[in-house]
Chain A
């Protein structure tokens, strides 16, 4: 297990180089403050923040790994697990909730086989329940990557998910 944490050879080396460059570019008087922006960048480059990558960042920024891991697990924006090709975010803000977002979420889970914890077996979908994306006028809302779907009924989800599945056949 330790080997896995320390070893970054399984990661995309080009991405790693550009991450290192980014970290170096932020070096200065308050570099420890830049942890969150660095994690953003890392997640953008790698899609998620595996343990060995977190440890790599810790070493590079001269921070304890536990500290980095503590920050990563605190903020819901960061993911320690790989995400699918499509991230389905179902808004669970109040406006969407009172308009049946829970049913929409359940349907998405059923159709994709993914959950908040793990992506679908085919690697196509992962699910996030988000708190208010601010499109309350369209409640209930979900987004799939950058595409927004509003005023949803659970039955609408069937068609939408089917389309994404078809696109990837």
Chain B
């Protein structure tokens, strides 16, 4: 049906809500991570069981987007009971139906393990503020009805009926929203630039080419709340005077693509896209363009060239896409997470958004928490939250209580933050000050055993592989940086190499053509800054870390020697033993075997 007025939207919403009167709703996460562990099958089985038991009138199963608690998936949330089941398998379905749905008792074994240090799950959500992710895990992303029931397209109606394009831009500007894709450019200003260029043909573009190999918030939003993106793009089109929208999405995101395509069709059928949106004289439609696997296409000029069917190579800015972008026309590129904030800002007002966050960074930011941390997943926190809060309060700290070493933020373009900065409030500017950057929001927690030179090498391997190869510093420079790091970790380096490494890293940063090249050396520069001793150890052809026997503590019991799988430990009975670093594979068997705690890792 067509919804051609504000009234119709309201009418429709009320009708849906009147129909949705269930006593129990089972939200089953159907984000990529949970789908990978068969959550769709679980949901289908639940539904079948409910039907079989004749409970379908009062109970409903909703396949939602990502809850964010990915490390514990598949996740089922039962409302209004406020019960969350984690790591559910298909075999658990029967138990859930019987125990929870029929006998109204909690299946204790499926709740999150709270044995030692308290309720991580509660903590996981307590400090979060879900704005961009507001509907992820709360609605069925494949249902337009569900989106409308949760306020979908009300912001668009408001913009079209009550606001001029300039007023829309004014609200976005006042909200203080900055681009969530990395650079943090003020969104309202960007919109204003595009609006200011006079042209019949303009484009608004959604950058869903999330390429940071450790960030997946954009995918989760596309999967969990596709209508929010569509609505926001239409608002952008109205504000900037564009009739055409394009979503550039990463090739690997099949589920997100499927859901976006469905949402686009539904939105078109309902009259939210196409000619005369909402019955007004504003016309707007969106086309989906699939990437084909190139990290550099996250850079906006490269992205545009890729959409034009070319190699995704960046070009010099200016001209900025706002003036000359897709097909040489003014183009407004925003990232998924940025868009996800737009509708709610319009509905709740600039001031509401403005109050969240720090002085210069407003609102929230989604981070993909991964690595050596208990709770892996997506977290959304107000700007200004500290690393400590994220890692320890939300993330539950490091498993096995191994000491913390660092956190890599911003993916291949970002840098490392150390213990002393754990209490830094996170925002765009504070991160820059400490040599990192917000980037896409990937946050990898590393424990003491992590080799920082290896980490830098990992990222350089990534960037040199993903470099488009157009400009010299990125094409050859990142390759040489990677080779220098290889040389170090192969124990073939020398102290002079460190100077050369640093000098080249700075030059690549200064001279590269696009953001990819300019930020590629960040992981090297920031690890050099905080962990220079590890580089120096390699330069002197020593391992920077490893297991060591504390001579004074060793009683010479030979237990460690006996368990070592590679015979790296030598020593006579009742005399202190020692570990040959060149043989040791760091399996940790010795540390467990030692009755005296005389072996340490440093």
Contact = CB atoms under 8 A, between A and B. Distances in A.
Interface in A50-103: 70-71, 74-78, 92-95, 97-99
Given A131-B295, A136-B368, A74 B70 contact: no
A70 B213 contact: no
A77 B297 CA distance: 13
A130 B293 CA distance: 9
Interface stretch (A36-44, A107-115, A117-125, A161-169): A36-44
B489 to A, nearest CB: 13
Nearest to B459: A94
A139 B368 CA distance: 13
B265 to A, nearest CB: 18
Interface stretch (B17-25, B32-40, B55-63, B277-285): B32-40
Contacts of A155: none
A148 to B, nearest CB: 4
Interface in B310-367: 310-312, 327
B377 A75 contact: no
B307 A133 contact: no
A95 B292 contact: no
Contact of A132 (B73, B213, B309, B327): B213
A78 B292 contact: yes
How many chain A residues sit at the interface, stated as a range, is: 35 or more
B309 A135 contact: no
Nearest to A133: B252
A30 interface: yes
B99 interface: no
B73 A137 contact: yes
Contacts of A137: 33, 69-73, 376-377
A30 B211 CA distance: 27
A95 B72 contact: no
A5 interface: no
Interface centre among A36, A132, A150 (most CB of B within 10 A): A132
B445 to A, nearest CB: 9
B309 A32 contact: yes
Interface string A130-146: 11111111110100000
Given A77-B251, A97-B458, A70 B311 contact: yes
Contacts of A37: 290
Given A33-B309, A36-B292, A75-B293, A93 B371 contact: no
B371 A95 contact: yes
B370 interface: yes
Contacts of B69: 137
A34 interface: yes
A156 B377 CA distance: 24
B214 interface: yes
A152 interface: no
B569 to A, nearest CB: 23
A35 interface: yes
B36 A136 contact: no
Interface string B200-228: 00000000000111111001100000000
B311 A71 contact: yes
Nearest to A149: B36
B121 to A, nearest CB: 14
Contact of A135 (B32, B308, B311): B32
B292 A39 contact: yes
B33 A134 contact: yes
A66 to B, nearest CB: 11
A150 B34 CA distance: 11
Contacts of B385: none
Given A37-B290, A94-B442, A130-B252, A136 B33 contact: yes
Contacts of B312: 74-75
Contacts of B292: 36, 39-40, 75-78
In the complex, the 8 A-B pairs of residues with the closest C-beta atoms, listed nearest first: A137-B70, A94-B214, A95-B370, A75-B292, A148-B36, A76-B293, A77-B293, A93-B213
Interface of A: 30, 32-37, 39-40, 70-71, 74-78, 92-95, 97-99, 130-139, 141, 148, 150
27 contacts: A32-B309, A34-B309, A36-B290, A36-B306, A39-B292, A70-B311, A75-B312, A94-B370, A94-B411, A94-B458, A95-B214, A95-B444, A132-B215, A133-B32, A134-B33, A134-B219, A135-B32, A136-B70, A136-B71, A136-B377, A137-B33, A137-B377, A138-B37, A138-B70, A141-B36, A148-B36, A150-B37
Interface of B: 32-33, 36-37, 69-73, 211-216, 219-220, 251-253, 289-295, 306-312, 327, 368, 370-372, 376-377, 408, 411, 442, 444, 446, 450, 455, 458, 462, 466, 468
Given A132-B212, A136-B214, A137-B70, 9 more contacts: A32-B308, A34-B309, A77-B251, A95-B214, A95-B444, A131-B295, A134-B32, A135-B70, A136-B368
